A = this chain, B = another copy of it.
Amino acid sequence: MTWTLDAEQIPALARGAAVLGTGGGGDPHIGALLAAQALDRHGPVEVVSVDDVPADARVVMVAMMGAPTVMVEKLPSLDEVVTPVRALEPFLDGPVTHIACAEVGGVNSTIPIVAAAAMGLPLVDGDAMGRAFPELQMVLPTLAGVDATPMAFADDKGNTGVLTTVDNAWAERIARVACVEMGCSVMIAIFPQSGAQLSQTMVAGSLTKAAAIGQAIAAARDANEDPVARAVEALGGRELFGGKVVDIERATTTGFARGRARIEGDGGALELSFQNEHLLAQVDGVVLATTPDLIIVLEHDSGEPITTEGLRYGQRVRVIAAPSDERWHSTEALALVGPRYFGYDIEAHRFDGEREVA
């Protein structure tokens, strides 16, 4: 299936992507602004289902890499988004034919729209995570044995680089230190793949899903219904907790926005731990949800997604859990994105829609 994405659809898509982005991927308003600007200038973008991408297509994922705390202060120009794709092309066996998203998230679902619009290329309806994760290698293509490199990166000053690494963890390590040195925010083009590989390596339909979630939230507001309940339904998720943000600790270290937030409500206090994305939700030491499942924070009444860098003292929020793509629960996948990888000494929970709120 192929559909046309125009500027009018952007707010819903960006909002829904920020919901699926589990707190990461940058500010959805900024993402929306960028994408709308690109669609205005270059016209609408054709969105193609994973199944309809030709087997010999040359697909490249485009994203912004860095700390979201910095991303929100350093908007890329349209040209900057295209630069890493052009820098990568000499390393491929021909020009790029399709753009794809590495993750869903406020900025990283819309940056690929910018690239597709500016380059006049179709965009794949899918992403490589079905959520957002903080490191480059944390994608389904890694599990499927696809190389992250050759990958290209570019900053706002005009510096570019192309890496070829022995594994995807090395791509992350080298690109991360370069990204930090270049100002904690670079544009990347990564994971070149053929169309034939996508069925193994993508969460299909995630742009459509993001748009549907964003629309459900907007529709509930218009109908004076509960947007959070509608989002939970659209996600196939469960509301874990509601309350007020009473404490936030955060630090931007080694290129990531790390921290914790404490939310007090009727059921006690919920502690959220994050590294760009929300990774762990606990109430009084009882673990309610963990990475790789989705932990989502929505504004209490409006259902507006709140990113990790957008968390503020006094906000009234509701915390939601939703199941991740099933592939993230294999032993191999949990080694890549499970709680222990991030330094939390606990087992990964598996989303359970039936479990009572603690």
- Residues of A at the B interface (CB closer than 8 Å) are 87, 90, 157-166, 170, 173-174, 176-178, 180-182
CB distance from A189 to the nearest CB of B (A): 14
Would you call B166 and A163 a contact (CB within 8 A)? no
22 contacts between A and B (CB under 8 A): A90-B90, A157-B170, A158-B165, A159-B163, A159-B164, A159-B165, A159-B166, A159-B170, A159-B174, A160-B163, A160-B165, A161-B161, A161-B162, A161-B163, A161-B164, A161-B174, A162-B162, A173-B181, A174-B178, A174-B181, A174-B182, A177-B180
Residues in B with CB closer than 8 Å to A176 are 181
Q: What residues on B are CB-neighbors of A163 within 8 Å?
A: 159-161
CB distance from A265 to the nearest CB of B (A): 42
Give the complex CA separation of A164 and B90 in angstroms: 14
Contacts of A174 in B (CB 8 A): 159, 161, 178, 181-182
Residue from A90, A174, A176, A182 whose CB has the most chain B CB atoms within 10 Å: A174
- Measured in the bound complex, the distance between the Cα atoms of B177 and A178 in whole Å is 6
CA gap between A157 and B166 in the complex, in Å:
7
Q: Which of A90, A159, A164 has the most chain B CB within a 10 Å cutoff?
A: A159
CB distance from A22 to the nearest CB of B (A): 27
Chain B: minimal CB distance from A154 (Å): 9
Residue of B nearest to A165 (CB): B159
CA distance A295 to B326 in the complex (A): 64
Question: CA separation between A160 and B170, bound complex, in Å?
Answer: 10
Q: Which residues of B have CB within 8 Å of A170? A: 157, 159
CB-contact partner of A178 in B90, B162, B178, under 8 A: B178
A255 to chain B, nearest CB (A): 11
With both chains docked as a complex, state the minimum distance between the C-beta of A166 and any C-beta of chain B, in angstroms.
4
State A177–B90 Cα separation when bound (angstroms).
25
Q: Pick the contact of A177: B160, B164, B165, B177 (CB < 8 A).
A: B177
Question: How far does the Cβ of A253 sit from chain B's closest Cβ, in whole Å?
Answer: 15
Measured in the bound complex, the distance between the Cα atoms of B174 and A160 in whole Å is 10
Q: Give CA–CA (A296, B160) in the complex, Å.
A: 38
- With both beta carbons as reference points, the residue of chain B lying nearest to A164 in the complex is identified as B160
For the complex, give the distance between the alpha carbons of A90 and B166 in Å.
20
Chain B positions within 8 Å of A180 at CB level: 177
Cα(A165)–Cα(B161), bound, Å: 8
Least CB separation from A161: chain B residue: B163
* Min distance, Cβ A110 to any Cβ of chain B, angstroms: 27
Chain B residues within 8 Å of A166, by CB: 157-159
State the CA gap A163–B153 with chains docked (Å).
9
Does B181 lie within 8 Å of A177, measured CB to CB?
Answer: yes
Minimum C-beta distance from A169 to chain B (A): 11
How many Å from the CB of A133 to the closest CB on chain B?
20
How far apart are A249's CB and chain B's nearest CB, in angstroms?
A: 27
Shortest A262–chain B CB gap in Å is: 34
Q: Chain B contacts of A173 at CB under 8 A?
A: 181
Bound Cα distance A181, B87 (Å)? 23
Residue ID in chain B nearest A159 by CB atoms: B165
4 new A-B contacts, CB < 8 A, other than A157-B166, A161-B162, A162-B162, are: A157-B170, A159-B163, A159-B165, A161-B163
Complex Cα distance, B157 from A230, in Å, reads 50
A161 to B151, CA, bound (A): 9
Shortest distance from the beta carbon of A167 to any chain B beta carbon, whole Å: 9
